[in-house]
Structure 1
Amino acid sequence: MNIHSSSPVRPALKSGKRYSAVAIALHWVSALLVISMIPMGWWMVRAINKPDTQQLAYQLFQVHKSIGFAILALTLLRVVWRLTHPIPALPAGMKGWERILARATHIAFYGLLLAIPLTGWVYVSAGWAVSTDRPLMVATSWFGLFTIPDLPRLESMRTLAFGAMGAHAYMAYGGALLIGLHLVAALKHHVIDRDGVLAQMLPFLRGRGHEDHHAPVGKALLPRSAGIAFVLLIGLVGCWLHLPGPRTEPAPMAAEAAAPAAIPLSAVAAAMPATDANATAWTIDKAASGITFSGSHAGKPFSGRFDEWTGDIRFDPTNLAGSKAIIIVNTISAKTGDATQESSLKNGEWFNAARFPEARFETKSFKSLGGDRYEAAGSLTIKKTTVPVTLPFIYSLQGDKAQVEGNVELERAALDLGMFSDPAAEWVSKAIEVKIGVTATRK
């Protein structure tokens, strides 16, 4: 039986003896992607909660999502191509039940190739991890090239996440079953029936020709309905079986909603009030300066930087009382080299960069620790949270050029960063180290 066949051929489309080159290419690319997803999905859901495999599983999850969206796009393209181009007809010698099963399987394949990625999209948009029954908001970056937005208004929907994952898993099992049936049918046509059906999709094979058979329109409704019913049934069963019970641990408060677009850093800098300090003013050399951060994610060290920031620095070791500094950081400019991490950092539970585009560090006082070592006491504001921060640093001066190097550890919990989905630091380390390196010239 030929599961590539479909319901009635339109009068305007003339059937050929084999599939077109485009149809063959789309079929085999989709097949390779789908087959790669099965072992990947099976392994990563078991490895994600084990410390020694957590980082690899996290990376595979991102690849899995990217391939899923690729399959969704290819399937939509295949549907359009199928509706506008003819396909080979079924052999006239096929029994009635074989033709029904072939067409039903074909429709079910298309349905699953659309529904499985869509339920996965719903799951990641719901922002809830089924494996740990806790909130988890991770952005989706398509192979690190661009961010795919979550479906709107689904955040923190626990029941939806469980139902979507159940449907996703059961339909994946259904797809594996159809793949097996597909392979058995193809071999039967090639080895037993020898009717040339497999050669329609494998150009290098040569098969015996066969008489064509086109099903009347009325008879095509049954396999079409059966294929759709198969997809709906296993999806609904999977959803129903995975609906969660009551949650004993209260969910943390949802992250703050996003608001208007971020304010340009130039506008923030222009609005920054002039300090009343009377110490020496400095002009920052941005090319030779930087603000970096580091920690661990899924047991693996990571590091990042802020590409956009500005500052007003007035500092003189002989006039510490008149010294002051204000640093404004554009949080949306955070870069780690991992597109998924970078997209996640912009979200509401982290920097919420759309609503709070800048972080602000302002000194209150300076103290000498002896030699070239100093200490700046001040406050750091991220989103709506302000915490006291003491920044030790080394100051060196050569002529009119000064260099400052300092570092401080910041607690995520104190700054309300990632506390919606990772309050226990199971993914991201509790403390984040921030290093500041500034080269400046005396004004």
Structure 2
Amino acid sequence: MTAERYSRTAIALHWLLALLLAFQISLGWALEGHNSPELFARFQLHKSIGIAILLLSLARLAVRLFTPRPPASDGPAWTRALAGTVHWLFYLVLILGPITGWLLVSTARVQVPTLLFGAIPWPHLPVGQGWHEPAESIHGAMAWLAIGLFLLHIIGALRHQWLLGKPELQRMIPFAKGKAVDAAIGALTLVFAAMAVAKLVYVDKPRAAAEQAEAPVVPAPAPTPAAESTEAKPEEAEEAKPEETSEPLANWSVASGGRLGFTARWNGDAVAGRFGRWDADIKFSPDDLAKSRIKVSVDLASADTGDGQRDDSLKGSDFFDSGAHPKAVYTAREIRHLGGDRYEARGTLDLRGVAKPATLRFTLAIDGDRARVSGATRIDRTAFGVGQSEWAATDAIAAGVDIAFSFNATRPAN
């Protein structure tokens, strides 16, 4: 028996693909502008939708080849040939479009891994850079072809339904066994709604916020100790004197649960992260600051911003280049007491093979053999080469990066 309507599976796949394609075309027009968290998120969503379209299209093709479907509409040979051509070109667009996009991602200079909808890892294709330009040209052509086919498909369906009086829409639109006017209007409304929604996801925030949020980076060099001694206030000098009963220099062990975090600003938005693996070698006594020293080693590959794709980008050669420079090391041998529980450490930060002076301030509260430490500083990422080529500019990602830390430490009992 000849089917009068398409199967429920075919209908579901048809309309799901139609909505996803409309969304994807509209989203594609929004993949422009300055580097920003919103643009990054749009690209990731575009990749996820593309792979979803590829998989659903293969399923739709299998349904078309192996399940019964209504016979093709009768009419002149040229109209039937055009209808068949449009349908098969749609399969070409729905399959070749995502594949060329996959090639673009796989051959991009900055290798950002693909996580479908932020959760499912999707591999890169094992192809060379020579595929990039052809894939880019074909991908763009597929987008324009998709727009043309979309219009031809809609015009053809409406022509058959109302000009020729053939119940084409009833065969594909759900719940349209009777008059198809309402169903057709509803279907078109959904398509245009999908396009509108794509324009609203991850909208860029005003760049004015970036200008307001950006604070000047405080240079690391500080006055010499001799100059400080002449400028220090008497009460501060008094506080800095060691007590008569001095404590021996101790090796402090950092307890688990400490935090070493960083905050960068991307188009004015704060992007916060932390390093999951770091260790510290601390020899410190408030009564013997001249011999006290601090050394902190940070595993750069442990950077975590809550976005796996962004985290892998940070590890790459454009940012931390953790393959060549796996650790950042901060060493301080000059520690000053600023009064009360406030201290300042001056030392050197070695990051990405570049060593620069870095000063941080911290508070220290010692209770017996336990201590609580917290502090912060700001560094200029560009001074260490963190952010290469297009990321070197500071109009999108600010130069200043805030570092904050807090931890508990213990020392051997006396």
Which residue, 84, 93, 99 being the options, matches 1:103?
Answer: 84
The aligned counterpart of 1:21 is 8
Q: Do the aligned partners of 2:97 and 2:143 also contact (CA within 8 Å) in 1? A: yes
Q: Do the aligned partners of 2:259 and 2:274 also contact (CA within 8 Å) in 1? A: yes
Cα gap change, 1:358 to 1:19, in 2 (>3 Å): farther
The aligned counterpart of 2:255 is 285
Using the TM superposition, give the Cα deviation of residue 352 of structure 1 relative to its aligned residue in structure 2, in angstroms. 3.1
User: 2 CA distance for matches of 1:153 and 1:364?
Assistant: 50
Cα gap change, 1:75 to 1:298, in 2 (>3 Å): farther
Any residues of structure 2 matched to 1:247-262 within 5 Å, and which? Answer: none
The aligned counterpart of 2:47 is 65
RMSD of Structure 2 on Structure 1 (CA): 2.8
Which residue, 285, 293, 316 being the options, matches 1:316?
Answer: 285
The aligned counterpart of 1:274 is none
Using the TM superposition, give the Cα deviation of residue 307 of structure 1 relative to its aligned residue in structure 2, in angstroms. 2.1
The aligned counterpart of 2:116 is 142
Q: Do the aligned partners of 2:291 and 2:333 also contact (CA within 8 Å) in 1? A: no
Cα gap change, 1:285 to 1:334, in 2 (>3 Å): same
Three-state SS of the structure 2 residue aligned to 1:440 is strand
Q: Does 1:184 align with 2:155?
A: yes
Three-state SS of the structure 2 residue aligned to 1:195 is coil
Using the TM superposition, give the Cα deviation of residue 308 of structure 1 relative to its aligned residue in structure 2, in angstroms. 2.4
User: 2 CA distance for matches of 1:75 and 1:396?
Assistant: 63
Which amino acid in 1 is paired with 2:304? K
Three-state SS of the structure 1 residue aligned to 2:29 is helix
With normalisation by structure 1, the TM-score equals 0.69
Any residues of structure 2 matched to 1:402-417 within 5 Å, and which? Answer: 402-417=371-386
Any residues of structure 2 matched to 1:225-374 within 5 Å, and which? Answer: 279-287=249-257, 289-374=258-343
Q: Do the aligned partners of 1:396 and 1:403 also contact (CA within 8 Å) in 2? A: yes
Identical counterparts, % of pairs:
35
Three-state SS of the structure 1 residue aligned to 2:391 is coil
Q: How many residues matched?
A: 344
1:257-300 C-alpha deviation (Å, 9 max, x unpaired): xxxxxxxxxxxxxxxxxxxxx8312232222x211101211332
Cα gap change, 1:160 to 1:383, in 2 (>3 Å): same
User: 1 CA distance for matches of 2:37 and 2:352?
Assistant: 29
Three-state SS of the structure 2 residue aligned to 1:90 is coil
Q: Does 1:77 align with 2:51?
A: no
Q: Do the aligned partners of 1:147 and 1:343 also contact (CA within 8 Å) in 2? A: no
Q: Do the aligned partners of 1:137 and 1:421 also contact (CA within 8 Å) in 2? A: no
User: 2 CA distance for matches of 1:437 and 1:299?
Assistant: 25
Which residue, 73, 97, 101 being the options, matches 1:116?
Answer: 97
1:214-271 C-alpha deviation (Å, 9 max, x unpaired): xxxxxxxxxxxxxxxxxxxxxxxxxxxxxxxxxxxxxxxxxxxxxxxxxxxxxxxxxx
Q: Do the aligned partners of 2:275 and 2:304 also contact (CA within 8 Å) in 1? A: yes
Q: Do the aligned partners of 1:109 and 1:178 also contact (CA within 8 Å) in 2? A: yes
Q: Any gaps of 5 or more consecutive residues in structure 1? A: 1-13, 129-135, 209-277
Cα gap change, 1:55 to 1:355, in 2 (>3 Å): closer
1:396-421 C-alpha deviation (Å, 9 max, x unpaired): 21232212222222222222212133
